[in-house]
Amino acid sequence: MLSALNRAKVIVSQFNTSVTATSNKIATSSIVTARTYTATSTAAMTDTSTYKFNHTMLRVKDPQKSVAFYNHLGMSLVNKFDFPENKFALYFLAFDSPKAASHGKHWTDREGIVELTHNYGTEDDPNYKPHNGNKEPKGFGHLCISVDNIQAACKRIEDAGYRFQKKLTDGRMRHIAFALDPDDYWVEIISQNPVDQTENVTTTDVSTYRENHSMIRIKDPEVSLKFYQDIMGMRLMRTNEAKEAGFNLYFLGYGPPAGDKTANGVNPTAEREGLLELTWNYGTEKEEGKVYHDGNSEPQGFGHICVSVDDLEAACKRLEEKGVSWKKRLTDGRMKNVAFVLDPDGYWIEIIQNERYGKPPGQY
């Protein structure tokens, strides 16, 4: 009998037999829980209200440095999968304190996970550097952490020797900052409390932090919003129009709608986790062809976002009926328990089973 580890995890990089070892690099891999389906499962219904924006995958150079950075932000290693035979490892980090939104849950039943993909040897390669998505070719933008007392939180990050793309005191926007992780991925810092009320507070409690959102740039908001709402089942939580600057931000996610305002006067989604921010720069919808980089062609960096679902086979059947573009169907290749959908801009969306709703026969 297979061990629980071998039963529970498979390698997505093996899904496409036509992919060469060079282009594969194992870097686009993710681990999912194996699941055996019965004939009756194809008729099962899927409920998009149960879906979760599970994780965002980033390739990293040195996992020790990257894990230490996210640990410093208060995230914990909730899962690690090591595959020495294929020379890569995956690290899943999330906020997991008793005050965290997903404390103690199975990794597939969470939102706001950061998956770090490390291909062996990159830490010793002086020429290897993941692409952070904010230099050409652009695409992925940033992760975002919401904190209790933003001034104290930013000072704590800076005191630990980490760099900033934008400090609170830079520019006109004094309510947000952007820290840089060891691979120069941007990590936005926003406040859960009014900034003017936390200015003189010197303490910060990392157990209250949230992995609030992940940002990607989009070409056409009408097309992308329709895709993420009608097809992926997300809800539009908030829209931020910056007309003078020439862009709009759209925040989507699963779960209950966001209110118009909160008791503490900050944005109504600041205490949420697992949101998707779509950034539209005015005029891109008029450009010909593909505008943004998906992160999986060279130069590589960001890999995918992931949605966990109640019934993987039923969810994929629904997506097929919706006419989605596939990177990998469940029936493609040898791996029958993971799928990848392409969004309108070509970003990869991994679809996995949320184990809260069932495990394969022979429970482990």
Positions at the binding site for Zn(2+): 277, 304, 350
Residues 304 and 57 sit within 8 Å (Cβ to Cβ): yes
- Active site (annotated) includes residue 320: no
pLDDT interval class at 263 (50, 70, 90): low
Mean pLDDT, residues 54-60 taken together: 98
CA angle 298, 305, 122 (to 5 degrees): 45
Confidence band for 19, pLDDT divided at 50, 70 and 90 = very low
> What span, in angstroms and rounded, lies between the C-alpha atoms of 133 and 139?
5
Q: What is the pLDDT of residue 28?
A: 39
- Structure pTM? 0.88
Average pLDDT, the chain: 88
**Coil, strand or helix at 15:** coil
DSSP state of 228: I
- CATH for the 48-353 domain, from 3.40.1390.10, 3.10.180.10, 2.60.120.620, 3.40.640.10: 3.10.180.10
- The mean pLDDT value for 137-162 works out to 98
Burial degree of 18 (CB within 10 A; 0-12, 13-18, 19+): exposed
Q: Kindly give the pairing relationship between strand 186-191 and strand 177-180.
A: antiparallel
Note the pLDDT of residue 44: 55
The answer to whether 306 touches 241, Cβ cutoff 8 Å, is no
Task: Tell me the backbone φ, ψ of residue 104, rounded to 5 degrees.
Answer: 75, 0
| Annotated binding-site members | 277, 304, 350
- Between these two residues, 83 and 186, which has the higher pLDDT value? 186
Q: If we measure between CA atoms, which residue out of 322, 333, 326 comes closest to residue 351?
A: 326
pLDDT digits (tens, 9 = 90+) for 89-98: 999 999 999 9
Partner residues linked to 10 by β-bridges: 32
Whether pLDDT at 257 is above 90? yes
pLDDT in tens, 193-224: 999 999 999 999 999 999 999 999 999 999 99
DSSP class per residue in 257-286: PPPS--TTSS-TTTT--SEEEEEEETTGGG
Tally of CB atoms within 10 A around 150: 25
Nearby residues of 59 by Cβ (< 8 Å), 6 or more positions away: 27, 116, 117, 118, 119, 130, 183, 300, 301, 302, 303
Catalytic residue among 188, 273, 313, 350: 350
pLDDT tens track for 175-201 = 999 999 999 999 999 999 999 999 999
Q: What is the per-residue pLDDT for 333?
A: 85
If pLDDT is split at 50, 70 and 90, which confidence band does 350 have? very high
Looking at residue 359, its pLDDT comes to: 63
Is the Cβ–Cβ distance between 250 and 228 less than 8 Å?
no
CA distances from 334 to 14, 293, 341 (A): 7, 28, 17
Alpha carbon distances (Å) from 182 to 162, 163, 187, 359: 8, 9, 11, 36
What are the two backbone dihedrals, phi and then psi, of residue 123, each rounded to the nearest 5 degrees?
-65, -20
What does the DSSP assignment read for 175-197? T-EEEE-TT--EEEEEESS-HHH
The tens digit of pLDDT for each residue in 330-346 reads: 989 877 889 999 999 99
